Amino acid sequence: MATPRGESSKTTAAASKNDDVEAIRRNRVLSSKLYLDVLPSKVPLIYSSSYDIAFMGIEKLHPFDSSKWGRICRFLIAEGFVDKKRIVEPLEARKDDLLVVHLESYLNSLKSSLNVSMIIEVPPVALLPNCLVEKHVLSPFRKQVGGTILAAKLAKERGWAINVGGGFHHCSADKGGGFCAYADISLCIHFAFIQLNISRAMIIDLDAHQGNGHEKDFSSDRRVYILDMYNPDIYPFDYEARRYINQKVEVASGTATNEYLAKLDQALEVAAGTFDPELIVYNAGTDILDGDPLGRLKISPDGISTRDEKVFRFAHERNIPLVMLTSGGYMKSSARVIADSIINLSNKSLINMESTTGKI
């Protein structure tokens, strides 16, 4: 049956518009400065002191520990695990970088302190001049976005990279929430598709909360496979986004370490037989820790180390570059747990902290 002329014209116009969008996205990615050339003496551990959010104590009004990122690095440095000079500092994502995924209308909405206060769930921020919100909240987030994007380049070059920050998995192209103002995971993958000649990516999201942001962004993109293991009894209750998860593993409140790790083993086995990625983005939230007030799971600190080890081993055995993001975690103990897990990965030879020149 012939296609009616009107419908054919609409289809052609839609395809042309999509091509235009992709061309603009490609140009933005190729003109970005975020893919730094990193010296061989550096290790693929990404952090900046600009990550940490601190302003007049307002950061203490949210349960998230916004000094977590700096404390992770201080633990690693104090243990003699890494020299401060060998940590990679990223650039801050600019507006053109963010427009690779985000709608301009969404970015403009962040010029309202009220909107930002709702996204980061700290009501008093609504009363601050937007210039202060920009400097003390949004700029640190954009620096972390730069770190997540750069991590994919480093992972392709070195086999792995850890951004000691990022993992803003509740933010999508047109909506923020849950302390997530920018969609760093979606941005990271789109940059990798264009800059690294990657055509298949897997998101392994093991934060306690559902990663509804990236799920919406990649809802119709078959190049991205999403394994999301989350507690369905907590925020964000995004039932629409759940339809876009390729492999959904729900873990109920109170789930303990052994049961959790057994479910993870099964999930990774299924993922291995279903999808063959060229990049893995691992969202390694520690809000699954026993005692976390928001995650409501009961995973031990050693269980976190074992979880991370399983994911890194999964990538290592298949020679797939892996990006790790620290994401959520609402206990002061999270920083120590993450640092211990990174040290364990090195002890198990799953990450190499030697410089590529052989010199430390």
CB of 287 closer than 8 Å to CB of 209: yes
CA dihedral 142, 147, 152, 157 (to 10 degrees): 150
The rounded distance, in Å, linking the Cα atoms of 167 and 179 is 10
The rounded distance, in Å, linking the Cα atoms of 271 and 350 is 20
In 3-state terms, what secondary structure has residue 48? coil
- As a whole number of Å, the CA-based R_g of the chain is 20
In 3-state terms, what secondary structure has residue 155? helix
Q: Indicate the DSSP class of residue 341.
A: H
CB of 229 closer than 8 Å to CB of 267: yes
CB of 58 closer than 8 Å to CB of 133: no
From 102, 136, 169, 170, the catalytic residue: 170
Task: Identify whether 170 is a catalytic site residue.
Answer: yes
CB of 181 closer than 8 Å to CB of 144: no
Torsional class of 241: left (φ above 0), alpha (ψ -120 to 50), beta (otherwise): alpha
DSSP states of 116-149: HHHHHT-GGGGGS-HHHHIIIIIHHHHHHHHHHH
What residues are annotated to the active site? 170
